C-alpha cells in the first residue's frame, strides 16, 4: 500500500511538477481552495475551515502554500497576506492534526533563501548563519517557526525546511517574466546587475523535495540553491546567449524599479550567495548545477 502525501499550494509550479513524480510511488492528495478532482480537498485559510477527510491515513505533508512574493506591491495589506498565507495555513493544518491525533512521518515545508536578508554582500550564507533584518527575512523566520512547531508539538517525526532560491522554469516564475524582453532584443540587467541571484532548476528543486521525502535522516533547514553562483547581469546575458539574442539596452535604473514596485524593488536589486554544501553532503546530486546547461535545457525544447 502506498504512503499518502498531502500537498498544499496545489496551483503552484513546484506542486504541479512535483506531483507528477510522486504519483508513481505515493498516493498524492491536494489541499485547494476549490475542489476539481477526486484527490483534492477544500480548505479556507481565512475562515479556518478544512476538509478533515484529507488527513485520513496521511503519512507526509509537503507544505507549499504561500502567496506570490513578487506578484503585487507590498502594501500593508499585501504584507499581511504574504505572512498569513504561510503561517495561518500551517497553523490550521497543525490544529487539525492535533484534533485528529495524527502524527506524521514528515512535515516538509517550503521556505525562502531570503531568510538571510535581501542584501548584496561578499558572504556565502550557510544554514548556520542567522536571519537578516528586512521584511522578507521576517516572513521566512515566521514561516520556519510555524513549521518547527510540528516537531515541538509532536505532530511530525521530523521537519524539513527547504530554503528555495529563484526557481528557473520556462513555464512560470522569474525566467518566464524575463523572456519576452530578451526575445525582443530589449532585455536589460536590473539596477547595477551585480546583485547575486541564487537560482535552482525546476527539476532540481522537485528532486530536492523528493530526496527529503525519501531520506528519513534529512531534517532541519537546507538551502535549495544551485552550487554555481550568478549575478542578475550574468543571468540576463546567459539567457540572451542561449536564445541567440543581442543585449543593447542599458541597465534598468534602480529608482525606476522603486517607482514601479515600491519596497518590493529591494528584492530585485539586492541579493547574496548561498551555499549548497549541506544538501550535497547529505547525498543530493544536482542534475543542473551549471547555469548555461540549465538554461539550454529549459529554453531549447
- What would the pLDDT profile of 7-16 be if each residue is shown by its tens digit? 999 888 999 9
Q: Which of 71-75, 120-124, 205-209 has the highest mean pLDDT?
A: 205-209
Within-domain flag for 90:
yes
Range of the domain at 37: 4-231+264-299
CA distance 115 to 87: 15
β-strand pairing of 40-44 with 49-50: antiparallel
DSSP secondary structure, 212-263, as one string: HHH-TT--EEEEE--SS--BHHHHHHHHHHHHT----SPPBPHHHHHHHHGG
E strand map for the chain: 4-7, 27-32, 40-44, 49-50, 58-63, 106-112, 124-125, 159-164, 166-168, 199-201, 220-224, 273-274
Within-domain flag for 270:
yes
β-strand pairing of 199-201 with 166-168: parallel
| pLDDT 10s digits, 78-120 | 999 999 999 999 999 999 999 999 999 999 999 999 999 988 8
Query: Looking at residue 294, what is its pLDDT?
Result: 97
CA distance 177 to 175: 5
Within-domain flag for 241:
no
Q: For the chain, give the mean pLDDT.
A: 91
Within-domain flag for 135:
yes
Within-domain flag for 253:
no
Q: How many structural domains does the chain have?
A: 1
Grid cell listed for 263: 519596497
**DSSP state at residue 104:** B
Evaluate whether 275 touches 147 at the Cβ level (below 8 Å).
no
Instruction: Please state the φ and ψ torsions of residue 50, each to the nearest 5 degrees.
Output: -155, 145
What's the CATH code of the domain at 90? 3.40.50.720
CA distance 36 to 123: 46
Residue 76 in this model has a pLDDT that exceeds 80: yes
Mean of pLDDT values over 211-235: 96
Within-domain flag for 179:
yes
Within-domain flag for 181:
yes
Rounded to two decimals, what is the model's pTM? 0.94
Amino acid at each position: 500500500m502506498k504512503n499518502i502525501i498531502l500537498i498544499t499550494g496545489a496551483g503552484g509550479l513546484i506542486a504541479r511538477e512535483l506531483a507528477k513524480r510522486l504519483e508513481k510511488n505515493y498516493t498524492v492528495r491536494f489541499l485547494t481552495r476549490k475542489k476539481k478532482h477526486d484527490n483534492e480537498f477544500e480548505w479556507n485559510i481565512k475562515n479556518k475551515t478544512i476538509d478533515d477527510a484529507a488527513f485520513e491515513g496521511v503519512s507526509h505533508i509537503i507544505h507549499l502554500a504561500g502567496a506570490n512574493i513578487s506578484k503585487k506591491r507590498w502594501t500593508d495589506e499585501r504584507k499581511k497576506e504574504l505572512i498569513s498565507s504561510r503561517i495561518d495555513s500551517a497553523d490550521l493544518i497543525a490544529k487539525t492534526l492535533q484534533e485528529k491525533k495524527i502524527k506524521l512521518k514528515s512535515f516538509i515545508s517550503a521556505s525562502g533563501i531570503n531568510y538571510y536578508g535581501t542584501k548584496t554582500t561578499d558572504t556565502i550564507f550557510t544554514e548556520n548563519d542567522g536571519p537578516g533584518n528586512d521584511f522578507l527575512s521576517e516572513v521566512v523566520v515566521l514561516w520556519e517557526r510555524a513549521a518547527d512547531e510540528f516537531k515541538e508539538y509532536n505532530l511530525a517525526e521530523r521537519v524539513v525546511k527547504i530554503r528555495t532560491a529563484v526557481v528557473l522554469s520556462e513555464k512560470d516564475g522569474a525566467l518566464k517574466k524575463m523572456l519576452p524582453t530578451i526575445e525582443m532584443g530589449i532585455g536589460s540587467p536590473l539596477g547595477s546587475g551585480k546583485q547575486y541571484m541564487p537560482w535552482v532548476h525546476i527539476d532540481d528543486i522537485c528532486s530536492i523535495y523528493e530526496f527529503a521525502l525519501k531520506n528519513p535522516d534529512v531534517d532541519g533547514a537546507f538551502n535549495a540553491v544551485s552550487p554555481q553562483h550568478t549575478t542578475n547581469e550574468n543571468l540576463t546575458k546567459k539567457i540572451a546567449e542561449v536564445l541567440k539574442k543581442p543585449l543593447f539596452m542599458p541597465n534598468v535604473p534602480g529608482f525606476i524599479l522603486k517607482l514601479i514596485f515600491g519596497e518590493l524593488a529591494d528584492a530585485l536589486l539586492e541579493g547574496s550567495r548561498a551555499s549548497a554544501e549541506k544538501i550535497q553532503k547529505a547525498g543530493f546530486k544536482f542534475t543542473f548545477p551549471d547555469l548555461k546547461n540549465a538554461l539550454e535545457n529549459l529554453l531549447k525544447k
